[in-house]
Amino acid sequence: MTPEDIIDNPKKIKIVQIESPQIPRSLDDVDAAIINGNYALEAGLVPAKDALGLESAHQNPYANLLVTRPELAKDPRILQLAKDLTSPQVADFIRKNYQGSVIPVADSQHD
């Protein structure tokens, strides 16, 4: 998406396109910004606390997915990884280390 994709801007907000990794460094120069969570975290921001708004995790089309080639779909290593990624231990690790800025798959079903 680019500023040219904007159909209507009745408030005449000036939209400036900045490369995603640069946005956190540009915060002092703008009134508001939309920052990918990974870049916000790398910049020391805590999206769950610093953001004015967050997109919903429930049915989010941009959630991370575990994907493999069809011939590996039943590979025990892939099956174990899928099990581990959705385990309570991983969910607890995510909750503890990301304080709401990253949502474990178990929690995304309920927001």
* pLDDT value, residue 110: 55
pLDDT of residue 94: 92
Q: Where in the chain is the domain with CATH 3.40.190.10?
A: 1-54
Encode the chain (111 residues) as per-residue pLDDT tens digits.
788 899 999 999 999 999 999 999 999 999 999 998 889 999 999 998 999 998 887 788 877 889 999 999 999 999 999 999 999 999 999 999 988 888 887 777 655
3-state secondary structure the chain: CCHHHCCCCCCCCCCCCCCHHHHHHHHHHCCCCCCCHHHHHHCCCCHHHHCCCCCCCCCCCCCCCCCCCHHHCCCHHHHHHHHHHCCHHHHHHHHHHHCCCCCCHHHHCCC
What CATH number belongs to 1-54?
3.40.190.10
Q: At which residue do the structure tokens 């994709």 appear?
A: 5
